[in-house]
Chains A and B, each alone.
Chain A
Amino acid sequence: MNERELLEAAGRLPKSIEPPRDLWPGIEARLRRSRRWYWVPLVAAAAIAAVLIGRGREGYQMTWLAGAGTGTLRVGEWVETDDSSRVVIAVGHIGQVEVQPRTRIQLVTARADDHRLALARGAIEAKVDTIPRIFFVETPVGTAIDLGCAYTLQMDSLGNGLLHVTAGEVEFQGTGGDARVPMGAVVLTRAGVGPGIPYVEDASETLKRALAASDVRGILTAARPDDAISLWHLLRRVDSGQRAVVYDRLAALVPPPPGVTRTAALALDRAVLDGYWTHIHRILFRKVMLRGVRDIDPRTGTRAR
């Protein structure tokens, strides 16, 4: 092949190649958090304020594992790991995020009142010790909001993934609903759907299958007192025609605390549901914390007899 033939061949190459998959869902998720022009005055004011108080461009320290390297991840920058590398990012003074292999993550905000990363794909392990709602991880299907915790979050670029909480609690706000995930629980996320219904680590396969299939009857049949967090979420997600049967099953497995009435719960009264959640959460917390030390009655949270 001479040069003329090469140039002719280059000229014949197609100008358009369809991506192997639809990239729009990932773009759409990022547009939702994208700062558009009407934020410009606010951003400019913040920049001026930062200069006035003598602060440079915000960033997090990061350390690559399996090597001695360190560096700074600045706002707007991405960090991407290959098949074997891992990076620990220090989240200000409130905690750290370990970025696992094959992960792409961006630092979106690094302020004392808003620490925010965006996980495009891959897996992270976050450990944060601060007041709730300071640390956020945005994903293609919603935002994981730290309520004082440690968790693992893994996700593909479309939003199919898993959140596993190992300490504290995380709220996952998605496009199709939200989920509260306490210590010892897991929630799956699905592209275009958002978070599913959380379940405890030792949930039965039958329950997990029923949750994945949104099979209300199957969920009610498979649920044990230990699975109260799943029924609490289900109560908020079913239509009003099914709500009573879900509530009655939940109340039979874990009797509601004082102040929680059937009528108010069926009306999805926020304060009442929050009260029920606190009760269920406290039982689960005791059960997980005392695992191997003391048997806890999953109906009451007291010592099992």
Chain B
Amino acid sequence: MTDELVRRAQAGDQRAFRDLYQQLAGRVYALCLRLTGDAGAAEERTQDVFVRAWDKLRSFRGESLFSSWLHRLAVNVVMNERRTTIRREQRVTPVADPEVLERGKGEPSVGLSIDLERAIAALPEGAREVFVLYDIEGYSHGEIAELTGIAEGTSKAQLFRARHLLREKLNR
């Protein structure tokens, strides 16, 4: 069923692509939500992922499940957006009051109701990404290093830090 939808979408059938979206939006949104820790950003990244997927559909050759391909694309989109944001912030000195930009980042977003989800959302960015990719999504440290552009050792250190912070928070 999914294979047929992918084949039709690759031929330019937008209805088929919409059906794929309906099947997989929840999976992509969950990943984006956990990686960004912000519901609004997760919505935007989810949209970015499907737009990117439409553009790159022809490069999908069926060597893996389409959902796996899309999942990896989602991680790439979130990481690329983060890198772009960092580069832009390095080029640009933003508002006079830097605290303004931090406002709202500390509190977890609507939709993350259970304690663990809230604790994950409140983790520092790097630690959160590694925890989500390693402990929830099952990527290896090597894969995380490749996806995020950090060293494997840094990935391990971030995972240790994330687990430590989570246990500390959940044991309070």
- CB < 8 Å: which of A9, A11, A34, A64 contacts B93? A64
Among A20, A23, A24: residue with most chain B CB under 10 A: A23
Question: Min CB distance, B122 to chain A, in Å?
Answer: 15
Query: Are B100 and A85 touching (Cβ within 8 A)?
Result: yes
Q: A36-B55, A85-B100 are in contact. List 12 more A-B contacts (CB 8 A).
A: A10-B131, A11-B136, A16-B27, A23-B25, A23-B50, A24-B25, A31-B51, A35-B55, A67-B94, A69-B92, A69-B94, A120-B44
CB under 8 Å from chain A, chain B span 71-123: 81, 84, 88, 91-97, 100-101, 103-104, 110-111, 116-117
Query: Are A6 and B167 touching (Cβ within 8 A)?
Result: yes
Residues of chain B lying within 8 A (CB to CB) of residue A161: none
Residues of chain A lying within 8 A (CB to CB) of residue B43: 19-21, 23, 157
Among A1, A11, A157: residue with most chain B CB under 10 A: A1
- CB < 8 Å: which of B47, B84, B96, B103 contacts A27? B47
Residues of chain B lying within 8 A (CB to CB) of residue A113: none
A contact set with B: CB distance below 8 Å: 1-3, 6-7, 9-11, 13-21, 23-24, 26-28, 30-31, 34-37, 62, 64, 66-72, 77-79, 82-85, 104, 120, 157
B161 CB within 8 Å of chain A: no
Given the interface pairs A23-B47, A69-B93, the reply to whether A82 lies near B100 with Cβ below 8 Å is yes
B14 CB within 8 Å of chain A: yes
Query: Are A17 and B51 touching (Cβ within 8 A)?
Result: no
Query: Are B50 and A84 touching (Cβ within 8 A)?
Result: no
Cα of A131 to Cα of B117 in the assembled complex, Å: 53
Query: Are B26 and A78 touching (Cβ within 8 A)?
Result: no
Residues of chain A lying within 8 A (CB to CB) of residue B17: 31
Query: Are A36 and B54 touching (Cβ within 8 A)?
Result: yes
B135 CB within 8 Å of chain A: yes
Q: Which 5 residue pairs of A and B lie closest in terms of their CB atoms, listed nearest first? A: A69-B93, A16-B26, A71-B92, A17-B30, A71-B91
Residues of chain B lying within 8 A (CB to CB) of residue A21: 43
B171 CB within 8 Å of chain A: yes
Contact mask B136-172 → A, CB, 8 Å, 1/0? Answer: 1000000000000000000000000001001100110
